[in-house]
């Protein structure tokens, strides 16, 4: 049985109050940051609530330099450590040996496998020992996220609770907060990016395109998710490594 939001908060989930509730109900809470705009907002709000933040980020080995620059800007701005989580070296070695350096361009299954090795397995290991984790997923971002709950049991990581304090916010809410509070944000947004992931798998978007249209843009009719926040009956587990591969309002802020 997971902790649930009080009725009043559930009906009007202001991010700052959701964060206060999360920190008040769970002993160990991790902010899992991609250092996109939503991460910037969550870190800024959380820093106004408490100083001892645990922030994790996934360094897939293929991030743009601008993401590394953003990590340093956040460290400097808030004076908080950022735990940079990397993939297992043997998993990467097996992936590259079996499928090459850029397998994601060759098929959706190989793209999902790359995400599994570089993102999903490292995150699963990093979250061991935590009770809950905070993510910047919003309902408006994509149809696959349209039913995102503010608080939910994390089926991908049994025993953990997943909290999405910005689930009900629009893009305008996020950027309004950033501008009003002068919050640092990823520099690729100024170059037309609307969603930022690994460098080879992300491009800028055109006016009118979906927020996540720049992710894996060469794929047709495929789900624009890597497996961290959405799986279709274990879809990302379908591909496998060869034998020997490793496994797994501002709300008053």
Q: Which residues are catalytic?
A: 226
| Sign, Cα dihedral of 117, 135, 201, 61 | negative
Number of helices and strands in the chain (H, E):
8, 6
**Rounded to the nearest 5°, which phi and psi values hold at 32?**
-95, 105
Residues facing residue 105 across a β-bridge: none
Q: Take residue 250 and report the two structure tokens written for it.
A: 């501002």
Residues in Cβ contact with 101 at an 8 Å cutoff, skipping those fewer than 6 apart: none
Q: How far apart are CA 64 and CA 244, in angstroms?
A: 30
Closest CA relative to residue 78, chosen from 106, 121, 46, 102: 46
Q: How far apart are CA 128 and CA 190, in angstroms?
A: 36
């Amino acid at each position: 049985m997971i902790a649930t939001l009080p009725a009043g908060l559930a009906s009007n989930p202001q991010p700052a109050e959701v964060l206060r509730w999360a920190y008040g109900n769970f002993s160990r809470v991790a902010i899992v940051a991609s250092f996109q705009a939503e991460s910037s907002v969550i870190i800024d709000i959380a820093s106004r609530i408490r100083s001892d933040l645990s922030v994790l980020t996934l360094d897939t080995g293929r991030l743009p330099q601008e993401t590394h620059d953003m990590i340093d800007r956040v460290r400097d701005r808030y004076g908080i450590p950022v735990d940079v989580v990397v993939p297992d070296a043997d998993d990467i070695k097996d992936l590259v040996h079996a499928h090459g350096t850029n397998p994601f361009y060759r098929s959706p299954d190989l793209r999902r496998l790359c995400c599994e090795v570089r993102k999903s397995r490292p995150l699963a290991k990093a979250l061991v020992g935590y009770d809950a984790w905070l993510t910047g997923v919003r309902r408006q971002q994509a149809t696959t996220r349209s039913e995102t709950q503010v608080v939910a049991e994390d089926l991908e990581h049994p025993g953990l609770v997943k909290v999405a304090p910005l689930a009900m916010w629009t893009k305008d809410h996020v950027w309004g907060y950033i501008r009003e509070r002068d919050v640092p944000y990823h520099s690729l947004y100024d170059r037309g990016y609307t969603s930022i992931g690994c460098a080879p798998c992300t491009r800028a978007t055109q006016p009118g395109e979906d927020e996540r249209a720049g992710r894996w843009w060469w794929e047709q009719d495929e789900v624009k998710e890597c497996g961290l926040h959405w799986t279709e009956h274990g879809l990302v587990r379908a591909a496998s490594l060869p034998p020997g591969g490793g496994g797994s309002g501002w709300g008053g802020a």
